[in-house]
Chain A
Amino acid sequence: MRNLFAFIYRFRAFLIFVLLEVLCIFMIVRYNTYQGAAFFNSANKYVGEVLEFQSGITDYFRLTNVNSTLARENALLRQQVLQYRRAALIDSTRTLDTTFVAVTDTLQQHPYILHAGRVINNSVRRTNNTLTLAIGTDDGVQPGMGVIASNGVVGRIKTVSRKYATATSLLHSQMLISAKIQKNNTFGTIKWTGGDYRTALLDYIPLHVKPAQGDTIVTSGYNTVFPEGIMIGTISSVAKEADKSFYTIRVKLSVDFAQLSYVYVVENTQQEEREELEQNAGILPNEE
């Protein structure tokens, strides 16, 4: 027994090294997976405060950019409001009584709520990029919600604390987003393979459709994370490889991830109902 202790004491440095490495590997495997959540991450209160302080300084240098983005978005929204107002003036069926209109039309219920959040930490050059937002459970954010910017899809909430949230960026090696080509509704999967942060790949587009350069890619709405029709990007190149049954399509992302400053977290009010229904029906929820 004494010999054993002597042995352990003699090799204590090596044993502690092995122990710490095993702990690290455990953490990597357990918490680095896309869905994994940990207490120690940048949504932590103190970490969040440091990051918010940092972005409080750096944001001043980007104010012009942020302002012009917001102004552009305002202009777009104003234009849409005007269009709807005109449409409402021309189309008077809404004002008729309910005999002609089905009041249970689900489109009228607006199942999506948007929470605006400020990006306080962001990366685009790593293999697995994440964002930290200054918005948390106090504002209604929950893990798994989608994150969009004014011009397209950004990612998905990973962990939340009271005031902060971390999100897996679209620029994450394990992030998959269900997408479709807008003009013919062919659906595939968007995936980022590293390298350039402006381009991603669109997978699983079968060879019988004819995608063309410049086609718009939007979200499919097949899962409950993103509403249907949110812009992802445009096709920048289409290639047919000899031994593959799908196209290799490169997509130029519409969001400039390096310039993100404000994003919207999408809350789907009907998510539970839909997921419960799909689960009861035996359809496994689409994990993308």
Chain B
Amino acid sequence: MKSSIGINNIVQFILFVALQILLMDNLVLYSTGFCYIYVAFLLFLPININRVLLLFLGFLVGFTVDVFYDTMGIHAAASVLLAFLRPHLLNLLTPRDGYDISDSVNIHVMGKGWFLTYTSTLILVHHAAVFFLERISFDDALFTLLKIVVSALFTGVVILILQLLFFSPKRTSRV
């Protein structure tokens, strides 16, 4: 099981952040569906990555997006929360015989059920944090909830498409 970040993670960081800023910023469905594709970088990191490093990476990617979105701290806070919860969720989702050496976050390797539970939970938490921090208050909570659900669906579908298109069914992870 790989535990350090490789060159493909760095490439993913740049790709996902660029995708977020240059494309997804302009792609909003009916003012409710936002796609925060940059979380895919955090989701696709090696399973056994150091928790502290993961937290700092979460802060880094959230902060980078914040700088471009002019939303100081909102995406950083949500990403750090995601980074903190990720190892715990991975523990909960451990397969019967533990994680394998060659396991990575890959729909072909880990199976559909595992992958969907993993991504949908973390994306929901992240999006809930983003939209409630943006509003600060709980008024208009119904609209915020709608935004969270629609956006999480949107991001989830895009991540699923990325997985099916670019991740090989072989038991090694590639970009």
Q: What is A's interface to B at a CB cutoff of 8 Å?
A: 12-14, 16-17, 20-21, 23-28, 30-32, 36, 38, 40-42, 44, 47, 50-51, 54, 58, 121, 123, 125-128, 130, 132, 166, 194-197
Interface size on B, residues (CB 8 A): 36
Nearest CB on A from B91, distance (A): 12
Give the docked Cα–Cα distance between A44 and B81 (Å).
27
- B42 contacts the other chain (CB 8 A): no
- B31 contacts the other chain (CB 8 A): yes
Nearest CB on B from A58, distance (A): 8
Contact B73–A126 (Cβ < 8 Å) = no
Give the docked Cα–Cα distance between A12 and B55 (Å).
11
Please list 9 pairs of residues, one from A and one from B, whose beta carbons are closer than 8 Å in the complex, sorted by A's number: A20-B55, A20-B56, A24-B80, A28-B73, A28-B133, A32-B74, A42-B68, A50-B68, A132-B70
Contact A195–B31 (Cβ < 8 Å) = yes
Contact A125–B28 (Cβ < 8 Å) = yes
Contact B72–A27 (Cβ < 8 Å) = yes
Contact B71–A17 (Cβ < 8 Å) = no
Q: For A23, list chain B residues within 8 Å (CB).
A: 59, 73, 76
Q: For B134, list chain A residues within 8 Å (CB).
A: 126-128
Contact A128–B22 (Cβ < 8 Å) = no
Nearest CB on B from A146, distance (A): 19
Asked, given contacts A28-B133, A54-B22, whether A12 binds B72 with beta carbons under 8 Å apart, the answer is: no
Q: For A166, list chain B residues within 8 Å (CB).
A: 70
A159's nearest neighbour on chain B, judged by CB, is B70
Would you give the 0/1 interface string for B123-156, flagging 1 where the beta carbon is closer than 8 Å to chain A? 0000000000111000010010000000000000
Task: Pick from A13, A28, A58, A130: contact of B74, CB below 8 A.
Answer: A28
Contact B68–A51 (Cβ < 8 Å) = yes
Task: Pick from B51, B56, B63, B77: contact of A25, CB below 8 A.
Answer: B77
Asked, given contacts A13-B84, A21-B80, A127-B134, whether A38 binds B72 with beta carbons under 8 Å apart, the answer is: yes
- B43 contacts the other chain (CB 8 A): no
Nearest CB on A from B112, distance (A): 30
Give the docked Cα–Cα distance between A40 and B70 (Å).
8
Nearest CB on B from A159, distance (A): 9
Q: For B34, list chain A residues within 8 Å (CB).
A: 125
Q: List CB contacts (< 8 Å) of B42-98 with chain A.
A: 51-52, 55-56, 58-59, 62-63, 66-74, 76-77, 80-81, 83-84, 87
Contact B77–A21 (Cβ < 8 Å) = yes
Task: Pick from A13, A125, A197: contact of B52, CB below 8 A.
Answer: A13
A194's nearest neighbour on chain B, judged by CB, is B140
Contact B72–A40 (Cβ < 8 Å) = yes
Give the docked Cα–Cα distance between A25 and B67 (Å).
15
